[in-house]
C-alpha cells in the first residue's frame, strides 16, 4: 500500500468543493435508493478493509490494540450503518405537524431536505469512527461530503483516501490531503454544514472561520469529564470500570474520565484499587499488546510535564514505572498513573489530560462535587457511581454536561438512539442515529392551505366583521 496521502493543494481543494456545490444545487435530492446504495458502499468499504484500517491506525500510533479498533471503531460504524439503513425511509418521510384550530382544515408538514455539501474535519484519536460516523448521517440526509483527515494519522488518511476514491465518485464523497495549509483553507470554505472533532482550542478557530460564512457547525470537543464516586458506591466495581475507561486507547478518548471526586476518607483505598485493576488489565510490561501507545512524541512530553508539575506541587503518584523509563519511552507507551493529593491549581487540573493519568480528589460534603463541576467549563461527559437515587438525581439536575453514564463510563456514547454532543466549551450540536440525520437536514416547514379556510375574511376593508373575528380568534388563541 502507498503509505503517503496524495497531494491535494489549495487549487484542488477549491475546485473539488465548487464541483460538489454545483452538483448539490443542480441535482434533485437523492432518492432513498441512492442513499441506501451509498450507505451500502460505505459499509463494504469498512468491512472489506477492516484489517488494513486496523494496521494503518496501529502504525500511526506506534501501536494500537486491534481489539480497541474493532470495538470502538469498526463495530460501532457497522452498527450505525445497519440502524440508519433500516430506519432511513421513515426518517425521510414528511412529518405531519398539528395545525391550530383557527387554520383548519389546513395542514402542516415538515419536509427533510439535504443541506448540500457537508465538510468533516476529522481527529486522530479514533480516526475511522470519528471520521465516518458523521459522514453516515450526512449521506443519509442526502448530502455530498468532503473529509479532511488528521495530519497525525497519515497512514490511515492515505488508506481512507485510496478506498474512498475507489468506491465513490468525487462529487459524492471525497477525502482531501493533510498538508499544513489544507486545514485552515478547508475550515474557511462556505460549506452548508461543518463538523469538527478535536480540542476546544482548535474548535474556537474552526468556529471563527466558519462564522465568516455563517456556516452552521457541529463541534465535538472535549474538556475535563468528571467522575463522582458517591459514598453509596461499590468502590471496587467503580475502580475497575474507571480504570478500563481511563486506559482505553491509553486515555486518548474525548469522553474518558478525566478525574475522580471521591469521599475524602476513601481516596487512598480507591486509588489503590484503581491501580490494582490497571495492572490486572494491562500488566506492567510496555510490550503488552492490549495497551496502546501515545500518538506522538510531543504528546508524550506534554503528559510528562503534567505529571512533573503535579509531583513538584506535592501530589503522590501510584505508578508501576516512570515514563522516562527507556523501555516505555522507546515504544511511546505511558505507564498507567494514579495521583492523589491533587489540587485544582495544578496543571493537570487546568487542561484536558488526554492520556493515562487519573487525578483523584477528595471531598467532604456531597454538595462539593456539584459546586466543583459547576465552577468549571461544562464537560463533554459526566460519570456517577452509587446506589443512592436521591444523590444521583441531585447531580443530574444540578450539573450540565454533554452526556452521562451512571455506574459505568463511556457507554452513553454507544447508545444509537441518544444524541452525542457537547455543551458550551465541550461542543455544539449532536449526531448519531436520527439525531445525525436531523442535524444534516433542513427540516422545512410547509403550510398547506385549505380552500375552505376563511382567512380571507381578515382582508380589508375590515368594517364590523373584524370585531366578531377578533373575538373568535381570542377564544382560540
Active site residues: 220, 254
**Whole-number Å distance between alpha carbons of 87 and 80:** 11
For residue 333, which of 47, 130, 43, 61 has the smallest C-alpha distance?
61
Contact (CB, 8 A) for 259 and 340: no
DSSP 189: S
**One-character DSSP codes across 407-427:** SSSSGGGG-TTS-EE--GGGE
Contact (CB, 8 A) for 255 and 381: yes
Burial (CB count within 10 angstroms: exposed 0-12, middle 13-18, buried 19+), residue 31: exposed
**Whole-number Å distance between alpha carbons of 1 and 52:** 9
Interior/surface letters 267-298, b for 16+ CB within 10 angstroms, e for the rest: bbebbebbbebbeebbeeebeeeebbbbbeee
**One-character DSSP codes across 222-246:** ----EEEE-TTS-HHHHHHHHHHHH
- Give the torsion through C-alpha atoms of 362, 366, 372, 374, to 10 deg: 160
Write out 62-94 in H/E/C secondary structure. CCCCHHHHHHHHHHHHHHHHHHHHHHHHHHHCC
Amino acid at each position: 500500500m502507498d503509505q503517503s496521502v496524495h497531494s491535494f493543494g489549495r487549487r484542488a481543494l477549491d475546485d473539488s468543493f465548487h464541483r460538489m456545490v454545483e452538483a448539490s444545487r443542480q441535482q434533485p435530492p437523492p432518492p432513498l435508493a441512492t442513499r441506501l446504495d451509498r450507505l451500502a458502499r460505505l459499509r463494504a468499504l469498512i468491512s472489506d478493509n477492516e484489517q488494513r484500517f486496523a494496521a494503518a491506525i496501529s502504525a500511526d500510533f506506534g501501536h494500537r490494540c486491534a481489539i480497541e479498533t474493532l470495538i470502538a471503531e469498526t463495530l460501532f460504524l457497522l452498527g450505525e450503518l445497519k440502524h440508519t439503513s433500516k430506519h432511513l425511509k421513515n426518517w425521510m418521510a414528511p412529518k405531519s405537524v398539528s395545525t391550530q384550530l383557527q387554520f383548519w382544515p389546513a395542514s402542516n408538514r415538515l419536509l427533510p431536505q439535504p443541506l448540500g455539501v457537508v465538510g468533516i474535519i476529522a481527529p486522530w484519536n479514533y480516526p475511522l469512527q470519528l471520521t465516518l460516523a458523521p459522514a453516515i448521517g450526512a449521506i443519509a440526509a442526502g448530502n455530498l461530503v468532503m473529509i479532511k483527515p488528521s495530519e497525525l494519522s497519515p497512514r490511515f488518511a492515505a488508506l481512507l483516501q485510496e478506498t474512498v476514491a475507489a468506491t465513490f465518485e468525487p462529487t459524492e464523497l471525497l477525502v482531501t490531503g493533510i498538508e499544513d495549509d489544507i486545514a485552515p483553507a478547508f475550515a474557511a470554505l462556505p460549506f452548508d454544514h461543518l463538523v469538527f472533532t478535536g480540542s476546544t482550542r482548535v474548535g474556537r478557530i474552526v468556529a471563527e472561520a466558519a462564522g465568516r460564512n455563517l456556516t452552521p457547525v457541529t463541534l465535538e470537543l472535549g474538556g475535563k469529564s468528571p467522575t463522582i464516586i458517591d459514598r453509596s458506591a461499590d468502590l471496587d466495581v467503580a475502580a475497575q470500570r474507571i480504570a478500563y475507561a481511563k486506559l482505553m486507547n491509553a486515555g486518548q478518548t474525548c469522553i474518558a474520565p478525566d478525574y475522580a471526586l471521591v469521599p475524602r476518607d476513601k481516596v487512598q483505598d480507591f486509588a489503590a484499587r484503581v491501580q490494582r485493576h490497571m495492572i490486572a488489565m494491562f500488566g506492567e510490561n510496555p510490550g503488552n499488546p492490549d495497551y496502546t501507545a501515545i500518538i506522538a512524541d510531543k504528546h508524550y512530553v506534554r503528559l510528562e510535564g503534567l505529571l512533573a508539575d503535579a509531583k513538584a506541587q506535592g501530589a503522590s503518584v501510584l505508578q508501576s514505572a516512570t515514563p522516562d523509563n527507556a523501555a516505555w519511552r522507546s515504544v511511546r507507551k505511558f505507564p498507567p498513573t494514579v495521583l492523589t493529593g491533587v489540587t485544582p491549581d495544578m496543571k493537570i487540573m487546568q487542561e484536558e489530560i488526554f492520556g493515562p493519568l487519573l487525578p483523584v480528589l477528595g471531598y467532604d460534603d456531597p454538595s462539593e462535587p456539584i459546586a466543583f463541576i459547576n465552577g468549571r467549563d461544562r464537560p463533554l461527559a459526566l460519570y456517577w457511581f452509587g446506589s443512592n437515587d436521591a444523590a444521583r438525581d441531585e447531580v443530574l439536575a444540578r450539573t450540565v454536561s454533554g452526556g452521562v453514564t451512571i455506574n459505568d463510563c463511556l457507554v452513553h456514547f454507544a447508545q444509537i438512539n441518544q444524541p452525542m454532543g457537547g455543551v458550551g466549551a465541550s461542543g455544539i450540536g449532536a449526531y448519531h442515529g436520527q439525531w445525525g440525520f436531523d442535524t444534516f437536514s433542513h427540516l422545512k416547514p410547509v403550510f398547506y392551505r385549505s380552500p375552505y379556510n376563511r382567512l380571507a375574511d381578515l382582508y380589508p376593508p375590515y368594517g364590523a366583521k373584524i370585531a366578531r373575528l377578533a373575538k373568535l380568534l381570542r377564544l382560540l388563541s
